[in-house]
């Protein structure tokens, strides 16, 4: 059973890995192993309080009082909706006039529960690629159990039926884009040699209606060592564009515009991000860029006319320049305006920019001290929807035009009583002296059970959105919630992330440890009452807290995690993250990675806090073998570990609201049992 063993070197010692088989088990063997670990976990946590938490969270996820967030496509607003009666979901639409009423008249386009029953499949919605500006056809992606890989099928939005004999792709990590109603650009698994080492498509083909997929015309190829190929089409009338290219690693791309059958390279920094809208090109920088005598700083946003850029006559305008307290959070276009969202010490600020003059003015009617995002903006008009919320402030959906007055069209109810609950921002001093911000949400009368959450990777920012489920299950019971904005994220721009990449990864963990220690020193909590959780890259964070900082915590929850950093690049999409972490096959990289890799640093002699590890069998991004192997190794070393593996769920860990509520309740009940005494 212990097949496929390998040797590893760590601290001068060579040892076999007896748990490597846990990456490979499938079918009945995998189910038996999962059940043997799931059942005692459920039995231990299946208390009356757990059931109450699960019901409370499910009520929030299923309630009709939630905001049905819209997306404009032509004359209709579209929404995908799950509730108790429709656990897999409804793809539906309505008019703006109807949407603004208390009880919109929703027209169901596709009932996913009905489809799943008819086809006897556990379909999970992965979204549509709708042809624009026609909005008549869609390529709909359907995932089995929530995996990243999906089946893609052509759907006629007029007849509300899948097109018989139409475009259809078998299960794969595909992407498609409409060239016209009879032609797609397709990136998928075309067979042997067509996928990268990261498990994504490396070939883009032009596929015409009625043509066998095998005969589709190749338009661009990436290298096997690249992360994936890029192919997209913008069909805006009068401003049509086709872009091709390849991700050479997670952050670097080589991009081309396809013009008259020729590839024209877009000569921008390969780690920059581009936004192309009508005649305008935006360039968002991750590193400094020198153009002539001018150096544009990392984190800046530049704008110019696209044709001028291609001809080499571009006048680059500095639309946004960051400072040490602020960063670019996102940009969205309406037809004639640019919406600029920035963060200042992790608080949102929204501005409206006029292309050409690049004049800025604050967006009116945005509530202060909230987390505000653009839900949807109309590229063919001037309509915009914003969502605004805070940790204790339920979401409000604001509607208007870009730069015009806004009105509240929907609001979510309060899902918990926030009276007496304070929100404060503090700064912890990390080991190297860096000030690391974090938010504390709770009642400050005395030290209380505290849930500390973090991520710290891939330039993902954690912002202060409404705590619905956590509010009901945790804050309302007297707990405190903390969100740490550690390095590795994007809260202070690209440099906040780049400081903590590869050989400097230890800064992520030092930052999080500093926040944990600061919480105790301020009297917000005690070590025995402090728990932490994280998922994916945040699951790696939890693994490092367990093996390197166990004295700081009373409990940990580690979800869909990376943990074996010796083999992460050999599993599923792992090779795509080498730019973030390093290459363990390179001895120089493994030297610094081996010092923190949780799986390789388990100690029999250390005293670890209790830990709950969760994953999903259908996670085809981060292999469940990470969680399984870590659990087995911790058990063998005599440590207290609980384990739960959802058979469905993908990398999100849950395929529907019931599963999401169960998973959340599992986390909160485990933390409450271990931290509340």
Phi and psi for 309 in degrees, rounded to 5? -65, -45
Beta strands of 569-647 (E only): which ranges? 611-616, 641-646
| Contacts for 73 with CB less than 8 Å, ≥ 6 apart | 93, 130, 132, 135
Buried/exposed 142-156: b ≥16 CB within 10 Å, e otherwise? bbbbbbbbbbbbbbe
Place of tokens 């030297």: 591
- CA distance linking residue 670 with residue 643, whole number of Å: 11
Q: CB burial class (10 A; 0-12, 13-18, 19+) of residue 287? A: middle
- CA distance linking residue 220 with residue 243, whole number of Å: 10
- CA distance linking residue 556 with residue 545, whole number of Å: 8
| Contacts for 151 with CB less than 8 Å, ≥ 6 apart | 141, 142, 143, 144, 168, 169, 170, 171
- CA distance linking residue 169 with residue 188, whole number of Å: 8
Q: At what angle do helices 506-521 and 537-548 cross, to 10 degrees?
A: 70
Phi and psi for 254 in degrees, rounded to 5? -110, 125
- CA distance linking residue 222 with residue 246, whole number of Å: 6
Pairing outcome for strands 555-559 and 611-616: parallel
Q: Which residue of the set 284, 461, 536, 616 is catalytic?
A: 536
Contact (Cβ atoms closer than 8 angstroms) between residue 341 and residue 330: yes
- CA distance linking residue 586 with residue 580, whole number of Å: 14
- CA distance linking residue 160 with residue 560, whole number of Å: 36
360 flagged as catalytic: no
Place of tokens 């919320």: 389
Contact (Cβ atoms closer than 8 angstroms) between residue 123 and residue 147: no
- DSSP class of residue 650? G
- CA distance linking residue 143 with residue 84, whole number of Å: 20
Q: Which residue of the set 141, 451, 651, 664 is catalytic?
A: 651
Contact (Cβ atoms closer than 8 angstroms) between residue 168 and residue 154: yes
Instruction: Number of helices (H) and strands (E) in the chain: give both, helices first.
Output: 13, 41
CA 134 to chain centre: 30
Nearest to 504 by CA among 599, 582, 610: 582
Give one DSSP letter per residue of 181-242, joined into a string: TTEEEEES--STT-B-TTSSB-EEEEEETTS-GGGPEEEEE--TTSSEEEEEEE--TT--EE
Q: CB burial class (10 A; 0-12, 13-18, 19+) of residue 669? A: buried
170: Cα within 13 Å, side-chain hemisphere: 5
Q: CB burial class (10 A; 0-12, 13-18, 19+) of residue 444? A: middle
Nearest to 57 by CA among 675, 666, 672: 666
536 flagged as catalytic: yes
- DSSP class of residue 604? S
The residues annotated as belonging to the active site are 536, 651
């Amino acid at each position: 059973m212990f097949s496929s063993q390998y040797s590893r070197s760590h601290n001068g010692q060579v040892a076999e890995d007896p748990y490597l088989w846990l990456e490979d088990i499938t079918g009945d063997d995998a189910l038996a192993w999962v059940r043997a670990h799931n059942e005692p976990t459920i039995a231990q946590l299946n208390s009356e309080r757990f059931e109450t938490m699960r019901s409370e969270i499910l009520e929030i996820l299923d309630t009709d009082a939630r905001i049905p967030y819209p997306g404009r496509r032509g004359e209709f607003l579209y929404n995908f909706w799950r509730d108790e009666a429709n656990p897999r979901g409804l793809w539906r639409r309505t008019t703006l006039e109807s949407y603004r009423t208390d009880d919109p008249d929703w027209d169901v386009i596709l009932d996913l529960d009905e489809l799943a029953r008819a086809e006897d499949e556990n379909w999970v919605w992965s979204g549509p690629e709708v042809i624009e500006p026609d909005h008549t056809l869609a390529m709909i992606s359907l995932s089995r159990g929530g995996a990243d890989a999906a089946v893609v099928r052509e759907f006629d939005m007029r007849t509300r039926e899948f097109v018989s004999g139409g475009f259809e792709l078998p299960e794969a990590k595909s992407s498609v884009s409409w060239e016209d109603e009879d032609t797609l650009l397709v990136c998928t698994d075309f067979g042997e040699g067509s996928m990268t080492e990261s498990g994504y498509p490396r070939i883009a083909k032009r596929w015409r209606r009625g043509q066998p997929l095998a005969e589709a015309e190749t338009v661009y190829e990436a290298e096997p060592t690249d992360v994936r190929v890029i192919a997209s089409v913008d069909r805006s009338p009068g401003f049509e564009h086709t872009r091709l290219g390849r991700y050479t690693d997670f952050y670097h791309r080589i991009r081309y515009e396809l013009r008259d059958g020729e590839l024209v390279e877009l000569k921008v920094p390969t780690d920059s991000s581009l936004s192309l809208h009508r005649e305008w090109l935006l360039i968002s920088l991750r590193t400094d860029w020198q153009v002539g005598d001018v150096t544009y700083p990392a984190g800046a946003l530049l704008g110019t006319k696209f044709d001028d850029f291609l001809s080499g006559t571009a006048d680059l305008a500095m639309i946004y320049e960051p400072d040490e307290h602020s960063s670019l959070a996102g940009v969205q276009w309406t037809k004639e305006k640019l919406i600029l969202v920035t963060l200042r010490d992790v608080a949102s600020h929204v501005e409206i920019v006029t292309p050409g003059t690049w004049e800025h003015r604050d967006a009116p009617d945005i509530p202060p001290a909230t987390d505000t995002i653009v839900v949807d903006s109309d590229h063919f008009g001037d309509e915009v929807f914003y969502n605004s919320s805070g940790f204790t402030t339920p979401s409000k959906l604001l509607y208007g035009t870009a730069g015009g007055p806004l009105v509240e069209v929907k609001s979510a109810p309060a899902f918990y009583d926030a009276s007496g609950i304070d929100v404060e921002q503090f700064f912890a001093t990390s080991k190297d002296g860096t000030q690391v911000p974090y938010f504390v949400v709770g009642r400050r009368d005395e030290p209380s059970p505290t849930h500390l959450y973090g991520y710290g990777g891939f330039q993902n920012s954690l912002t202060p959105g409404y705590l619905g489920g956590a509010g009901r299950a945790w804050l309302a019971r007297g707990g405190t919630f903390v969100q740490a904005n550690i390095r590795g994220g994007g809260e202070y721009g690209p440099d906040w992330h780049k400081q903590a990449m590869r050989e400097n990864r230890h800064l992520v963990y030092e930052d999080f440890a500093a926040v944990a220690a600061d919480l105790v020193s301020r009297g917000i909590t005690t070590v025995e009452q402090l728990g932490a959780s994280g998922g994916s890259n945040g699951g790696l964070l939890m693994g490092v807290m367990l093996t390197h900082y166990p004295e700081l915590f009373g409990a940990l929850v580690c979800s869909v995690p990376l943990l074996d950093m010796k083999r992460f690049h050999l599993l599923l999409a792992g090779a795509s993250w080498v730019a973030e972490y390093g290459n363990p096959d390179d001895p120089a990289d493994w030297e610094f990675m081996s010092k923190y890799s949780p799986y390789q640093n388990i100690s029999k002699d250390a005293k670890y806090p209790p830990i709950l590890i969760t994953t999903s069998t259908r996670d085809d991004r981060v292999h469940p073998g990470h969680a399984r192997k870590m659990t087995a190794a911790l058990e063998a070393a005599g440590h207290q570990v609980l384990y739960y593996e959802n058979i469905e769920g993908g990398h999100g860990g849950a395929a529907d609201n019931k599963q999401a509520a169960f998973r959340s309740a599992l986390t909160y009940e485990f933390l409450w049992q271990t931290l509340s005494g």
